[in-house]
A and B are shown apart, each in its own frame.
Chain A
């Protein structure tokens, strides 16, 4: 449809644009998909990404201090994401805080930490490697896109071939059954949130690479977009259905839609609202077969 409306949409560059723009969203969506599969929700992406963006920008070569840790700085930022995710998970299983509240709180903590590190002066990065991720291309796609592809593959492997992934799926399907079968569910829940945190941490690093600077708002909007993408891809908010590949398709759909709207001249001011509309509509569509099924279930 967009292809018909706008010749630009059809161009090779635009396809590259769509795919490159999808990279960060794809990584964040990988993380959130595991949490959604489990039947929980994760709203901490924005905060975790902000904290990780500031962390990485202050650890690689930058204009605020003399650090130049390179890849190690990236690793620390990802680890920080793990810590935040672990916090969410622990609050959920130990303090019995519902996941939406726990992760919302962790998001606020992340933003707070990021603001502290920002300290009023924006750290611009000069690390050639990190900056290069967003600019240099391999086979026509940016490094960031390849990183995202690797994340999707890794996520799929985890989901398909590890106990963590399978149990996350099972928890979303019937948690009580796991308990009745003698499985200790809590460690797996914490692990899933921790894994999700790692993806958000990496997402924050990728945004920093794109912007060339560490911003508190690095993750702004990604929390919601990622849930949209996962749901559009067919992952149920009640858990137990969908998966990484579904979500990858969802990411592409959402990006095509956003990009298409820009290309046909829809004001960017409209996009937030349109995205909201999509997620509600997608959930409504997703529960239709369930509603029907409930009536014939025997």
Chain B
């Protein structure tokens, strides 16, 4: 393969270990990557920072061959490459430790480390455990870990499993003669602080013979362990910071950029908040990943819960819909104490939930708009035990018009609609019964384009004006600030702060970040 002579002149700067130029990736309705540039130098730890939806995960997937970019180039040590699979990437010396751990739990650590490339440890399909143990031990020694190679993986602690993953990824050294590039995607999100220290020590060791790309939501960590940080926003690289002397605030400002849009969130349409007793009142709610949550939401009020990945806010939201079990605390609706052992109880209490994963949890793809809309409130479309076709048609058409859902008809499969219109159908599901009192919106605008977002915002305002109380887990901090009347900041399973967020007196994202990390 002859690359046109675009060789570097004899500059003292060495060729970057990995370089990305103008990478573009479209998904239906979203531009995940919009011309990203990235340079990973040899023997450096590069941080990658960006809000949700900035394109980090798509970029990482492209680097290990899980996503094929629509345009743009990836260069490994100056040479343009096409990465078609994980194996392909490994052959070029690129390996990734996935966010959700990718180890086989019922195999030994040694087997996991050598998986797919056992080499001398398996001869003619027969295992030689002593060789396997030795080869795995060599990998573990590289990162200075003292895990027993023959321990079953599911008996190891989370941090140890992380070490096994790193040892496994380091095996790619054998596939290419050059120093490898190791990508760590959110490796610290579930680690204790002591384990994090160990991991960071390992990362610094890695630098001696590899390049590392480090991704984390926790900016202080990024600044701590990285040499340099590249910031992504909206699928582009918006800046680069040398970490020496930098502070989290600075990084965060680059991540969120300036929000110039006027009244994107329909702030002037904010509903008057009922002052008397709250619609939803939660006291001391505790569960698996959250403790002592107090939360009040009045009729017409939008309360946003913000927090980093792992703060427990998703679980609080799910607990309020009876999905996540709780161990203590009480929940009152309009002053009346209720218990939410399951989702049925929540529906009966007038609570609606729009899940974050619309395609898998929010809707039944191949079923029609009408079926999806009437999924929960069956009574609204039925006469006795039977579906009343004309009643259903009238009801569904009324809501299609009311929410201006663009669909060829009520019988169109919902998967043929655009994301924004799908989301409106999902929302309508809770509205058709006319008994909705509290809406739980988990990332309601995830994956939607700007226009569709705006419509969902407008709909939220209308519902609030109609007296519905809303709990919102927003996609970004600006969204939370723009929409909410009040913001709860969660950190490590607890409410760290409560910030009033009235129209005209909005806090800045930095005020919130302070409490989040």
| Chain A residues with a Cβ under 8 A of chain B | 160-164, 166, 169-170, 172-174, 176-178, 180-183, 240-241, 295-296, 298
B126 touches A161 (CB 8 A): yes
Indicate whether B272 reaches chain A with its CB closer than 8 angstroms.
no
Indicate whether B103 reaches chain A with its CB closer than 8 angstroms.
yes
| List of B residues within 8 angstroms of A298 by Cβ | 158, 190
Among A164, A183, A295, which residue has its beta carbon within 8 angstroms of that of B115? A183
Per the 8 Å Cβ criterion, residues 100-130 of B in contact with A are: 102-107, 111, 115-118, 122, 125-127, 129
B115 touches A241 (CB 8 A): no
Indicate whether B26 reaches chain A with its CB closer than 8 angstroms.
no
B105 touches A173 (CB 8 A): yes
B122 touches A163 (CB 8 A): yes
Indicate whether B86 reaches chain A with its CB closer than 8 angstroms.
yes
Complex: chain B residue closest to A175, CB-CB = B104
Complex: chain A residue closest to B325, CB-CB = A295
Bound together, the chains give a CA A208 to CA B30 distance in angstroms of 65
What is the count of residue pairs linking A and B with beta-carbon distances less than 8 angstroms? 64
| List of A residues within 8 angstroms of B190 by Cβ | 298
B107 touches A295 (CB 8 A): no
Indicate whether B256 reaches chain A with its CB closer than 8 angstroms.
no
A241 touches B158 (CB 8 A): no
A177 touches B125 (CB 8 A): no
A170 touches B87 (CB 8 A): no
Q: Mark B84-109, 1 if CB is under 8 A from A, else 0.
A: 01110010000000100011111100
A174-B127 contact, Cβ under 8 Å, with A182-B116, A295-B288? no
Complex: chain A residue closest to B288, CB-CB = A295
Q: How close is B98's CB to chain A, nearest CB, in angstroms? A: 8
B106 touches A169 (CB 8 A): yes
| List of A residues within 8 angstroms of B125 by Cβ | 162-164
B103 touches A177 (CB 8 A): yes
Bound together, the chains give a CA A55 to CA B327 distance in angstroms of 62
8 A-B contacts (beta carbon < 8 Å): A170-B107, A173-B104, A173-B107, A178-B104, A182-B90, A182-B116, A182-B117, A295-B288
Q: How close is A27's CB to chain B, nearest CB, in angstroms? A: 22
Q: Mark B313-327, 1 if CB is under 8 A from A, else 0.
A: 000000000000100
Give 13 A-B pairs besides A163-B122, A173-B106, A177-B104 with Cβ atoms closer than 8 angstroms. Answer: A166-B127, A169-B106, A173-B105, A174-B103, A174-B104, A177-B103, A178-B104, A178-B115, A180-B86, A180-B98, A295-B288, A295-B325, A298-B190
| List of A residues within 8 angstroms of B288 by Cβ | 295-296
Complex: chain B residue closest to A240, CB-CB = B106
| Chain B residues with a Cβ under 8 A of chain A | 85-87, 90, 98, 102-107, 111, 115-118, 122, 125-127, 129, 158, 168, 190, 288, 325
Q: How close is B181's CB to chain A, nearest CB, in angstroms? A: 17
Q: How close is B114's CB to chain A, nearest CB, in angstroms? A: 9
| List of A residues within 8 angstroms of B87 by Cβ | 182
| List of B residues within 8 angstroms of A170 by Cβ | 104, 106-107, 111, 115
Complex: chain B residue closest to A170, CB-CB = B104
Complex: chain A residue closest to B153, CB-CB = A173
Q: How close is A294's CB to chain B, nearest CB, in angstroms? A: 10
| List of B residues within 8 angstroms of A180 by Cβ | 86, 98, 102
Bound together, the chains give a CA A80 to CA B116 distance in angstroms of 31
| List of A residues within 8 angstroms of B115 by Cβ | 170, 177-178, 181, 183
| List of B residues within 8 angstroms of A296 by Cβ | 288
Bound together, the chains give a CA A295 to CA B288 distance in angstroms of 8
| List of A residues within 8 angstroms of B85 by Cβ | 182
Bound together, the chains give a CA A98 to CA B118 distance in angstroms of 30
Q: How close is A286's CB to chain B, nearest CB, in angstroms? A: 15
Complex: chain A residue closest to B158, CB-CB = A298
| List of A residues within 8 angstroms of B107 by Cβ | 166, 169-170, 173
| List of B residues within 8 angstroms of A183 by Cβ | 115-116
| List of B residues within 8 angstroms of A160 by Cβ | 127
A162 touches B126 (CB 8 A): yes
Bound together, the chains give a CA A162 to CA B126 distance in angstroms of 4
Among B116, B158, B168, which residue has its beta carbon within 8 angstroms of that of A178? B116
Q: How close is B266's CB to chain A, nearest CB, in angstroms? A: 39
Complex: chain B residue closest to A179, CB-CB = B86
| List of A residues within 8 angstroms of B127 by Cβ | 160-163, 166
| List of B residues within 8 angstroms of A240 by Cβ | 105-106
Bound together, the chains give a CA A78 to CA B204 distance in angstroms of 57
| List of B residues within 8 angstroms of A178 by Cβ | 104, 115-116
Q: How close is A293's CB to chain B, nearest CB, in angstroms? A: 10
Q: How close is A165's CB to chain B, nearest CB, in angstroms? A: 8
Complex: chain A residue closest to B64, CB-CB = A180
A176 touches B122 (CB 8 A): no
Q: How close is A118's CB to chain B, nearest CB, in angstroms? A: 38
Bound together, the chains give a CA A163 to CA B87 distance in angstroms of 20
Bound together, the chains give a CA A205 to CA B98 distance in angstroms of 49
**Most chain B CB within a 10 A radius of its CB, from A164, A169, A181, A296:** A181
Complex: chain A residue closest to B128, CB-CB = A161
| List of A residues within 8 angstroms of B86 by Cβ | 180-182
Bound together, the chains give a CA A188 to CA B104 distance in angstroms of 16
Q: How close is A204's CB to chain B, nearest CB, in angstroms? A: 27
| List of A residues within 8 angstroms of B105 by Cβ | 173-174, 240
Q: How close is B345's CB to chain A, nearest CB, in angstroms? A: 19
Bound together, the chains give a CA A160 to CA B128 distance in angstroms of 10
| List of A residues within 8 angstroms of B118 by Cβ | 163
Complex: chain A residue closest to B106, CB-CB = A173
Complex: chain B residue closest to A161, CB-CB = B127
Complex: chain B residue closest to A241, CB-CB = B106
Bound together, the chains give a CA A182 to CA B168 distance in angstroms of 12
Q: How close is A159's CB to chain B, nearest CB, in angstroms? A: 10
Bound together, the chains give a CA A183 to CA B114 distance in angstroms of 11
Complex: chain B residue closest to A172, CB-CB = B106
- Pairs of residues from A and B, 8 with the lowest C-beta to C-beta distance, nearest first: A182-B87, A181-B116, A173-B106, A182-B116, A183-B116, A173-B104, A181-B115, A174-B104
Q: How close is B494's CB to chain A, nearest CB, in angstroms? A: 17
Bound together, the chains give a CA A161 to CA B325 distance in angstroms of 43
| List of B residues within 8 angstroms of A161 by Cβ | 126-127, 129
